[in-house]
Amino acid sequence: MPIGAQDIASAVAALFIVAMIWLRTRMHYAGRGRGRLELTRAGRIYFAAALAVLVVGWFCAPRLGRSLWPAAAAPGLGPDAILTRVIWFLATYYLLVVIHRVLQSRHVELFGARP
pLDDT of 88-111, one tens digit each? 999 999 999 999 999 999 999 999
Q: Which pLDDT score is estimated for 110?
A: 93
Q: Which pLDDT band holds residue 72 (cuts at 50, 70, 90)?
A: low
Instruction: Label residues 6-23 b or e (16+ Cβ within 10 Å = b).
Output: eeeebeebbeebbeebee
Q: Which pLDDT score is estimated for 31?
A: 75
Please say whether the beta carbons of 35 and 112 come within 8 A: no
**Single pTM value for the model:** 0.84
Q: State how far the Cα of 70 lies from the Cα of 105, in Å rounded to an integer.
A: 41
The answer, yes or no, to whether residue 67 has pLDDT greater than 60, is yes
Q: Which pLDDT score is estimated for 102?
A: 97
Please say whether the beta carbons of 66 and 78 come within 8 A: yes
Q: Which pLDDT score is estimated for 34?
A: 67
Please say whether the beta carbons of 24 and 56 come within 8 A: no
Mean pLDDT of the chain: 87
Q: Which pLDDT band holds residue 33 (cuts at 50, 70, 90)?
A: low
DSSP label at 112?
E
Locate the domains of the chain by residue range. Answer: 39-115
Rounded to 5°, angle at Cα 99 from 96 and 100? 85
Q: Residues 57-76: what's their mean pLDDT?
A: 77
Q: Residues 59-83: what's their mean pLDDT?
A: 73
